Structure 1
Amino acid sequence: MGEKRTVYMDHSATTYVKRDVLDAMVPYFTEHFGNPSSIYHIARDSKKAIDIARAQVAKALSAEPDEIYFTSGGSESDNWAIKGVAYANKKKGNHIITTKIEHHAVIHTCEYLEKNGFEVTYLPVDKYGLVDPADLEKAITDKTVLISIMYANNEIGTIEPIAELGAIARKHKVYFHTDAVQAIGNVQIDVKAQNIDLLSLSAHKFYGPKGTGVLYIRKGTKIDNLVHGGGQERRRRAGTENIVGIVGCGKAIELVTADIEGHNKRIRALRDRLLSGIVAKIPDAYLNGHPGKRLPGNINISFEFIEGESMLLWLDDEGICASTGSACTSGSLEPSHVLLATGLPVEISHGSLRLTLGDVNTDADVDFVLEVLPKVVTRLREMSPLYHKSGKDGGCNVQ
């Protein structure tokens, strides 16, 4: 019996570390292991490597190197941006604006601040997951100190009008933060042109190592520290630097932004063929997110009459790695807060599937998913009382 095939289509969850990235990291495990805070030569080697990585990240964002701060990941960067600005500017006001579809690193941080004297406005989105700039402008008050709106949604892939939203924040002299964890390498980011004051990244989303992130902080931004202890990161973020991770982050972002247009063309072609095949073969399938303004590798699709976690388990048994919009796998019976915010009914939200393609995927992978997925959906529907009660026998719908 041949080896079981594995098709990885969950790149929004994490990516593998590219060989060139790993090769850049390896010397800093053993040969160049010095603490950058020391003064001898192997420590200077480490400090130089961090400086190079800082410049690589800055170039990818059209920022300045001294505006780049390394963290432990996207969640820390989001926490630092939101809590740091909120507490540093509480004499001005206690109002924060975000959206109903943010990553939990943003939503839970805002909920924490609500328990500590801050007020938060959660903006609605339309059926595609888009924020209306007019809603943002109406929500701003003289007490607003921060606006935090994600660049691209991690579940449905919708890309927000960041430059327009940032311009509104700048007009009202309110700091603007964006969680760009899913966006880097898929869109051209220019923090100056897009009026971005703070931006969060996580290396493991763009073929770098886990445990390393970035927070871009525009010069002049009033922000408190989140981690205290030492003088690292120009006295902004204490803790001995994760040199290996930082080197990997710098190399990874350099590679992923080298040819965004070429990358998008290839990935989008795979995605579109996969999506077309799914809706042609499976009735009662609903595309979630914006049909055009979305990440090139993202498909989020709901299937009526079935439950997402069961679908994932059956797909995994066939060797296909994906994820679901339902939070059942985390021990909750609640459907995705993102899908609910777009107005999708609860019963349909539970049957959602997210397939996110990346550099490792091929036409053969698309063919395999198109062979397996319709069979899985059919089997699950055959076991569903809801499907039999519906009396449906065909047809497909794409929003």
Structure 2
Amino acid sequence: MATIYLDYNASTPIAPEVGAAMRPLLEDAFGNPSSGHWAGAPAKVAVENARGKVAALLSCHTDEVVFTSGGSEANNLALKGLFFRRNDRPSHVIVSVIEHPATLEPCRFLERLGARVTYVRVDGAGLVDPDDIRKAITKDTFLISVMHANNEVGTIQPIAEIAKVAREHGVPLHSDAAQSAGKIPTRVDDLGVDLLSIAGHKAYAPKGIGALYIRRGIDIEPLVHGAGHESGRRAGTESALLTAALGTACEIAPPWIDATGIRQLRDVFWENLRAAFGDRVVLNGHPVLRLPNTLNVSFVGRVGADILAAMPDVAASTGSACHSGEIALSPVLKAMGVAPEIGMGAIRFSLGRGTTPEEIDGTVDRLKWALA
């Protein structure tokens, strides 16, 4: 039986164009990009060309792009980098309660160092209310961090509205765009963000590469100190191979942004599930303000992990975990107020560029069998 991959929010395959861009760099451009001789020059060119392509996707200046090892490091650099510039001044950060652990765990670390963190709630669709952000701001607030789109349910946050609130109070705004880059527009001036994180392996590049956009005028303390790479913001010799991969992924992304075909296929999937299971299947997340590829549904009264175990040829993610016989809802669904009997049956299906109608039909057939 053919396997079906519907977990593109977890990781994407490397796009053919990305692989083609990487292949020559496995043998050539082996020099250090920081070297001033002939061997380092091709590597330097590859890194800076890649930086330009990332900047083009984000519509920012090339000197505002800092390469990192991925989205987690980018988020850590944004949060900790600004915190450590506070010079022991009182520090307060605002984040949404449904952020990825790559944001929430750095916040918990900063709390151990004396920072105060406000975790802003979301509504039943997973949306942050900009007024809640406004009410949470204090004179000590040094950063607001709200993800652009949620990785589990796909809900897209009102970042531009939150940015307006942040600007009114002179507070920088960071957004984790790991899930949104390449799927929906991420032009930084349209969003109004001051920092923005992206991750290569969510956008058809390899794992181990990402970037942090830092608006001109924002000063951060590096997490990795060394020889002053990345304009002194992130030490460590850049990888021409991986930066070229991310650059190419960003270069080929525009035709896929707000891709009608993927959105239509996702909506057909949902319609087929409703036709097959009626009220036994429930949509999680916002019905409209949602990533075009993401469908998070709950099969009422069932356990998502058990359903996926019954159809091992389908790759997808559950919204609950089983520990010692007890079902624990994902923190995202719990924060949204999803009832346990609904949330325990959650499965996230995330489509991608390679998803076909036949795979959607095959998944629905397998679900009918698993839930019979």
1:63 CA displacement: 0.5
| CA RMSD of superposed structures (Å) | 1.5
Q: Which amino acid aligns with 1:161?
A: P
Using the size of structure 2 for normalisation, the TM-score is 0.96
Tell me, in whole angstroms, the C-alpha distance in 2 between the residues paired with 1:349 and 1:31: 50
State yes or no: 1:245 paired with 2:242.
Answer: yes
Counterpart in the other structure of 1:266: 261
State yes or no: 1:362 paired with 2:359.
Answer: no
Tell me, in whole angstroms, the C-alpha distance in 1 between the residues paired with 2:326 and 2:241: 36
Q: Which amino acid aligns with 1:277?
A: N
1:239 CA displacement: 1.0
Alignment of 1:13-162 (within 5 A): 13-90=10-87, 93-162=90-159
State yes or no: 1:280 paired with 2:275.
Answer: yes
Counterpart in the other structure of 2:332: 338
Q: Which amino acid aligns with 1:225?
A: P
Unmatched segments (≥5 aa) in structure 1: 379-399
Tell me, in whole angstroms, the C-alpha distance in 1 between the residues paired with 2:246 and 2:62: 14
Tell me, in whole angstroms, the C-alpha distance in 2 between the residues paired with 1:230 and 1:240: 9
Alignment of 1:5-20 (within 5 A): 5-20=2-17
State yes or no: 1:320 paired with 2:314.
Answer: yes
Alignment of 1:160-239 (within 5 A): 160-239=157-236
Deviations along 1:209-239, one digit per CA (max 9) or x if unpaired, are 1100000000110211111122211121111
Aligned to 1:219, what secondary structure does the other structure show?
coil
Q: Which amino acid aligns with 1:301?
A: V
1:333 CA displacement: 4.9
1:197 CA displacement: 0.5
Name which of structure 1's ranges 142-151 and 31-40 shifts more when overlaid on structure 2: 31-40
1:187 CA displacement: 1.3
Tell me, in whole angstroms, the C-alpha distance in 1 between the residues paired with 2:334 and 2:304: 15
Give the fraction of aligned pairs with identical amino acids, expressed as a percent: 44
> 2:295 pairs with 296, 299, 307, which one?
299
State yes or no: 1:371 paired with 2:365.
Answer: yes
Deviations along 1:65-105, one digit per CA (max 9) or x if unpaired, are 00000000000000110111112135553100001100001
Q: Which amino acid aligns with 2:168?
A: K
Q: Which amino acid aligns with 1:324?
A: T
1:172 CA displacement: 0.5
**Residues 184 and 257 of structure 1 are in contact (CA less than 8 Å); yes or no, is this contact kept in structure 2?**
no
Aligned to 1:46, what secondary structure does the other structure show?
helix
Q: Which amino acid aligns with 1:364?
A: E
Classify 1:278/1:200 alpha carbon distance in 2 versus 1 (closer, same or farther; 3 Å).
Answer: same
How many residues align? The count is 370
Tell me, in whole angstroms, the C-alpha distance in 2 between the residues paired with 1:348 and 1:8: 24
Deviations along 1:95-139, one digit per CA (max 9) or x if unpaired, are 000011000010111111111100000000000000001111011
**Residues 29 and 240 of structure 2 are in contact (CA less than 8 Å); yes or no, is this contact kept in structure 1?**
no
1:43 CA displacement: 0.7
**Residues 69 and 214 of structure 1 are in contact (CA less than 8 Å); yes or no, is this contact kept in structure 2?**
yes
Tell me, in whole angstroms, the C-alpha distance in 2 between the residues paired with 1:144 and 1:57: 29
Deviations along 1:236-256, one digit per CA (max 9) or x if unpaired, are 111111221100000001101
Q: Which amino acid aligns with 1:266?
A: G
**Residues 69 and 216 of structure 1 are in contact (CA less than 8 Å); yes or no, is this contact kept in structure 2?**
yes
Counterpart in the other structure of 1:386: none
Tell me, in whole angstroms, the C-alpha distance in 2 between the residues paired with 1:223 and 1:229: 15
**Residues 278 and 374 of structure 1 are in contact (CA less than 8 Å); yes or no, is this contact kept in structure 2?**
no
Aligned to 1:240, what secondary structure does the other structure show?
coil
Tell me, in whole angstroms, the C-alpha distance in 2 between the residues paired with 1:351 and 1:181: 26
Classify 1:26/1:332 alpha carbon distance in 2 versus 1 (closer, same or farther; 3 Å).
Answer: farther
Tell me, in whole angstroms, the C-alpha distance in 2 between the residues paired with 1:193 and 1:297: 22
